[in-house]
Amino acid sequence: MKPTIKDVAKKANVSVATVSRILNEQQGYTAATKQKVLRVINEIGYTPNAIARGLVKKTTQTLGVLLPSLTSGFMSELLNGIVNTAHKRGYSVIICPTGDRGKDTPGYLKVLNEQQAGGIIFACEWPKDEYIKEFSRIHIPVVLVSTYSEHHQIPYIRVNDKQAAYQATKYLIDRGHQHIGLICGRKKDPIASIPRFEGYKQALTDFGLAFREENVVYGDFRYESGIKCMEWLFKKSPNITAVFAISDEMAVGALSYAYQQGIKVPDKLSVIGYDDTQIAEMAIPPLTTIHQPIYEMGERAVKMLLNDDETKGSIIMPYRIVERDSVKSMT
């Protein structure tokens, strides 16, 4: 049988209350009794039962992370920031990949509720009203990452997507490109697609270039869709010289399509991505892209949840353009 707090209390000739106080670094004991108790703990190899603790505290040192999928560089990096930060603070993280269009979100929310999770990070997914209702019902603090809520005051951490997309497009325009394609996300996706689309369009307009429907094509952020999008785009608009893909993965798909077709990048086609995940630097040629501070976003999400962040309320994170070799200057 694993030793319990009772065992150490008995062996140390104190009450369980005292042991508990020592374990939790509260006050109410002499240095001598502390020493004695600690020695006994060591002797019998006692380890506290976090579940018992969770039962009385009605919460656990556990964070749930809801995200669409696990298999993208963005998610890996975000998770990395979250888990490392949480671990340092004594929190565990439970991963909840919600799958296609968030179909498993309700199921995972139920689990996190039952497990008495101490916080929820809700990332890269549109927070439906239904979820928000559930958040408040189960009474677990939430922070949004790379998404936000229109009608509710839930703190979020994200980049100004419209602005970043504007800058990406401007970057291409500044280098003399006049026919610029956009590989967008799902048409109605309000969190990434729409703002980035808006930024693209705005930049075009601001710099006197016409916005053309046929220069825009819609994918799903993944590599395969990047290939297909690039193919469509060339069919619809053979004269484009540059393309802005709103995820690195789709940008790499565009690179692959160009490679298959013998179209040289950046000589015949310039490509700029979004995210600055690891594949951006691994791509051939290395991909110029919008850098998002993904790791830090994960880090600050847990800090916010634990009320350990300097900033109160939502945070807009900085982005920047990382220049590599996939964009050619026409001038």
Partner DNA sequence: CTGAAAGCGCTTACAG
* Interacting residues with a copy of itself between 107 and 146 (CB under 8 A): 107-108, 110-111, 113-116, 137, 139
- Write down the least CB distance from residue 120 to DNA, Å: 20
Residue 44's binding partner among DNA, a copy of itself, none (Cβ under 5 to 8 angstroms by kind) is none
User: Are 184 and 213 a contacting pair, CB within 8 Å?
Assistant: no
Sequence-distant (6+) residues with CB within 8 A of 210 are: 204
User: Alpha carbon of 213 to those of 67, 79, 221, 271, 275: distances in Å?
Assistant: 31, 36, 19, 19, 24
- Write down the least CB distance from residue 89 to DNA, Å: 17
User: Alpha carbon of 115 to those of 49, 63, 303: distances in Å?
Assistant: 15, 10, 21
Q: Does 163 bind a copy of itself (CB under 8 A)?
A: no
* Residue (174 or 325) nearer to a copy of itself, CB: 325
Residue 239's binding partner among a copy of itself, DNA, none (Cβ under 5 to 8 angstroms by kind) is none
Q: Rounded CA gap, 318 and 331, in Å?
A: 29
- Write down the least CB distance from residue 16 to a copy of itself, Å: 16
> Would you call the peptide bond into 127 cis, given omega within 30 degrees of 0 as the criterion?
no
DSSP, collapsed to helix, strand or coil, labels residue 180 as strand
Q: Does 7 bind a copy of itself (CB under 8 A)?
A: no
Q: Rounded CA gap, 311 and 258, in Å?
A: 44
DSSP state of 166: H
End-to-end CA distance of the chain: 77
Q: Rounded CA gap, 5 and 284, in Å?
A: 59
* Residue (60 or 169) nearer to DNA, CB: 60
What is the C-alpha radius of gyration for the chain, rounded to an integer number of angstroms?
25
Q: Does 54 bind a copy of itself (CB under 8 A)?
A: yes
Query: Which residues of the shown chain bind DNA in the complex (CB under 7 A)?
Result: 1-2, 4-6, 13-18, 20-21, 23-24, 26-30, 32-33, 46-49, 52-53, 55-58
Length of the chain in terms of residues written: 331
C-alpha closest to that of 120 among 100, 147, 99, 101: 147
Residue 178's binding partner among DNA, a copy of itself, none (Cβ under 5 to 8 angstroms by kind) is none
CA angle 97, 99, 101 (to 5 degrees): 130
* Residue (130 or 214) nearer to a copy of itself, CB: 130
- Binding mask of the shown chain, residues 301 to 330, with x at each position contacting a copy of itself by CB under 8 A: ------------------------------
Residue 79's binding partner among DNA, a copy of itself, none (Cβ under 5 to 8 angstroms by kind) is a copy of itself
* Contacting residue, 16, 50, 132, 321, with a copy of itself by CB under 8 A: 50
Strand arrangement, sheet containing 216-218: 216-218, 180-184, 242-245, 270-275, 288-291, 320-322
Q: Does 71 bind a copy of itself (CB under 8 A)?
A: yes
Q: Does 106 bind a copy of itself (CB under 8 A)?
A: no
DSSP string, 176-227: T--SEEEEES-TT-TTTHHHHHHHHHHHHHHTTPPP-GGGEEE--SSHHHHH
- Binding mask of the shown chain, residues 168 to 187, with x at each position contacting a copy of itself by CB under 8 A: --------------------
* Contacting residue, 19, 172, 279, 305, with a copy of itself by CB under 8 A: 279
Query: Would you tell me which residues interact with a copy of itself (CB under 8 A)?
Result: 2, 45, 47-52, 54-55, 60, 62, 69-73, 75-77, 79-80, 83-84, 87, 92-97, 104, 107-108, 110-111, 113-116, 137, 139, 223, 249, 252-253, 255-256, 259, 278-279, 281-286
